Structures are given as structure tokens and as C-alpha cells.
Amino acid sequence: MHLSEDFPEDLPAGLPKAELHLHIEGTLEPESAFALAARNGVELPYADAEELREAYRFGDLQSFLDLYYALMAVLRTADDFTELADAYLARAAAQGVRHAEIFFDPQAHTARGVPVGTVIEGLAGALDRSEERHGVTTQLIMCFLRDRPAESAMETLDAAKPCLHHIVGIGLDSAEAGHPPAAFREVYAEAEALGLRKVAHAGEEGPPSYIREALDVLGVERVDHGLRAMEDPELVERLVRERVPLTVCPLSNVRLRAVDALADHPLKAMMEAGLLVTVNSDDPAYFGGYAGDNFRAVREALGLDDHHLRELARNSFRAAFLDHDEARRARYLAEVDAHTSGRAGGPSR
Ligand code: HPA
Ligand code: ZN
């Protein structure tokens, strides 16, 4: 189910934006999963795509992850990863995404016998052509599974060394509760020594202390989700002062029951507290919408005006890892202004 039909005004979809929290494996649509399963001789325990879609009723993060990891079995060859990423980039472009920093989970594939090089070269096959084909610039962020040992993360980082020219940074994802960031201190130190940028999921289902740990022990530059920071006013003050971006995923938070309903989502309160928040789709094939759909949904549910939307779009480019090309960042910010000129708000800063 996509939300587009319900929101005739296309400002949110057309608004130029960067997507900074997107798991490429979470863009596997049911129809593509069946096509890949047939091609690769993989049996799926569902009659068809409709029946699979029916299973997308999640009680929490873990119930989603169980299905998400199981369905990845259909991804086997470099071409599979190229097709997956190319399909995402086409969809993202249609929803105003101009720049995408894309997560992938190497351990979820190496554990099934797919080498990390196959995954990275396959993804790069789509990313390298993305600007030309879709008008979307891209970066790749390699995420480690926090519910597996830190040694496995370190081995994965080692195995990826021949392909690091494709990778801008590392992240940390999977089941959060009971898996605090500090266990990954050495992996993050090694990644920093290799010149990689650092992000981590924290405060999606884990407590505010996990956000502090991600900042203080891992040295992350952005926090993925970060929702539960709102329980800790001192932490909010610090995140505002240090301008730490939070990559928020509204439809994901509803589907995984981090919030009861979109109308209860703290996004607007986070903006009003001065936090540098961005809006992203997380796993759009599973959570009911891509980047523009998330913008539309929060506009409707939280009563965001054009000023809020413009600020969210600006934040996405401010928070992007575009330090190597500040001219490009400036062009993207100017595109946001051009798209919203005549609407509320002043020039970009
Ligand atoms: N949280 C943690 N791990 C994930 C998610 C998420 O929302 N999506 C894919 N892996
Ligand atoms: Zn995520």
C-alpha cells in the first residue's frame, strides 16, 4: 500500500531530498522476491506476492527482522543486487530523492555463502550508473549486525577491504534491545583509521543511554532513528548543541510499533526542540512507502506546513556525507529553495 493516492498535492514527492536511512534489502518488493526466487530456484513459504504482503504485520522490530532476513535468501548473484538497487533508485528518483546514502547488511549475505565482494560489486553496478540513469547521486554504508559478535563485524570489515573504494562509511543495525553500541568500539576505531564515516542505529527500541554510547564510544556522526532521545532533555540539548543529525523513519516507527500512530510521532516536537532531523523510509517495501510517501504521511498526520517540509529537505542535504563536494551540497540546497520559492520560509543556510 502506498500513500500517494491520498495526498493529491505533490510538494512532498517533488521536493528535492536526500535519503540517509535506507536499507537496500528493505526495498525488496514481494513481486521482485518471487521473480528472484524463481530465477534462483529458492522456495518461498508463501503462495504468491499477495500472501507474502499479508505477512507484513509486525509486532516489533524482531518480528520484522525475522521475515526480512528470511526473504534475503532470494538474493544470490551480483546481478540480483544490481537489479535490486536499480529498482530502488528509479523509485526514489520518482519521489524527489536526489542523493541516497544506502545501507547494506553484508553479514546477512555472507552467512548464506554469498561473498561480501559479490554484494558490494553488485550494488556498485547500479550505484555507479545512478547519476546518469536516475539523476541520483549515491554512497554506500556497510552496516554490522549488532546481535552478532563484534569479532564477526571485524572479520567482515577485513573481508571488505578490497572493495572499500565503494564505501563511504559504516553503520550498526539489527535487534537493538540488549545489544548496546560499546561492544563495537574496536570495529569503529578500525573503520575510522580506514577513513570511513560512522553512523549507528540507536534509540529506536533501545534507551537514550545507547545514543550517548554511540556518540561517546563509537564516535558516530549521525544517529539513525534516535527517537528515544526525546525521553532525555539533557541528551536533546546536547544533540542540538552539537548539531548531530537524526535520521528519522516515520512509517517504519508506526509499523514496528515504536509509536502507536503517526499522529503520536515526535517528529514535529523534535524539530521544534531544534534537533537536526531528517525523514527517511528505512525499509520501504515493508513499511508502506518510499521517501516522498513518508514526507506526505507526516505532513498529513502532524499538520506540517511548507516551512517544515522545506526545513526537512534542507536538513537532509546538510546531514549528507557530501563534504568532499560542497559545491554539490550547495546546488542541492538551491534546488530545495527553487522548488519551494513563493512558499513560506527564507533562504537556505
Ligand atoms: N532497525 C534495525 N535494524 C534494521 C532496521 C531497523 O529499522 N531495518 C533493517 N535493519
Ligand atoms: Zn534502519
How far is the C-alpha of 52 from the C-alpha of 30, rounded, in Å? 7
Cβ–ligand 1 contact at 205 (below 6 Å): no
Of 204, 205, 213, 311, which is the active-site residue?
204
Please determine, for residue 6, whether its predicted confidence score (pLDDT) is greater than 60.
Answer: no
Number of the ligand closest to the Cα of 204 = 1
Note the Cα 212 to chain centre separation in Å.
Answer: 20
**Residue 1: predicted pLDDT:** 38
* 18-27+78-339 maps to CATH 3.20.20.140: yes
Please determine, for residue 59, whether its predicted confidence score (pLDDT) is greater than 60.
Answer: yes
**Residue 2: predicted pLDDT:** 43
Main-chain dihedrals φ then ψ at residue 33, nearest 5 degrees: -60, -45
Asked whether 198 and 192 are in contact (CB, 8 A), the reply is: yes
DSSP letter (8 states) at residue 282: B
Instruction: Supply the residue whose CA is at minimum distance from atom 3 of ligand 1.
Output: 174
Asked whether 97 and 136 are in contact (CB, 8 A), the reply is: yes
Mean pLDDT value of segment 1-10: 45
- What digits encode the pLDDT tens for the residues 126-166? 999 999 999 999 999 999 999 999 999 999 999 999 999 99
**Residue 335: predicted pLDDT:** 97
- What digits encode the pLDDT tens for the residues 61-95? 999 999 999 999 999 999 999 999 999 999 999 99
Number of the ligand closest to the Cα of 24 = 1
Tell me which of 118 and 8 has the higher pLDDT: 118
Q: Catalytic site residue 204?
A: yes
How far is the C-alpha of 278 from the C-alpha of 317, rounded, in Å? 9
Cβ–ligand 1 contact at 23 (below 6 Å): yes
Asked whether 250 and 227 are in contact (CB, 8 A), the reply is: no
Please determine, for residue 346, whether its predicted confidence score (pLDDT) is greater than 70.
Answer: no
pLDDT tier at 9 (50, 70, 90 boundaries)? low
